[in-house]
Amino acid sequence: MFPSIGMVWGETRRKRAGTEDDQVRITAQLVDAVAGHHLWAERYDRDVKDIFGVQDEISHAIVIALKEIVTADNGTP
């Protein structure tokens, strides 16, 4: 049985707001709700102008991480 993933946690911080170098740092994590340990985590530093692109990238990374967790737990390739 795969873990009970009860939380997708994230944090966003804006660096150098209002400058030519306007950036965001986004941290995303998948957490096993029962055991309380991290299953996947990643940090993304991007230009604020590409905020929707990084949103797509994070969504894709979470789907891949979930697929790997479920596949590994079921013993299927």
DSSP secondary structure of the chain = ----EEEEEEEEEEESTTSTT-EEEEEEEEEETTT--EEEEEEEEEEGGGHHHHHHHHHHHHHHHHHHHHHHHHT--
Contact yes or no for 43/61 (Cβ under 8 A): no
pTM, to two decimals: 0.71
- Give the pLDDT mean for 21-47: 86
- What CATH number matches the domain at 5-74, 3.40.50, 3.10.450, 1.10.3680, 3.30.70? 3.10.450
Given pLDDT bands bounded at 50, 70 and 90, which one contains residue 7?
A: low
- Report the Cα 5 to chain-centroid distance in Å: 13
Question: Which residues, 6 or more positions from 20, have their beta carbon under 8 angstroms from its beta carbon?
Answer: none
- Give the pLDDT mean for 50-72: 88
Residue 17 has pLDDT above 80, yes or no: no
What residues does each domain of the chain span?
A: 5-74
pLDDT averaged over every residue in the chain:
81
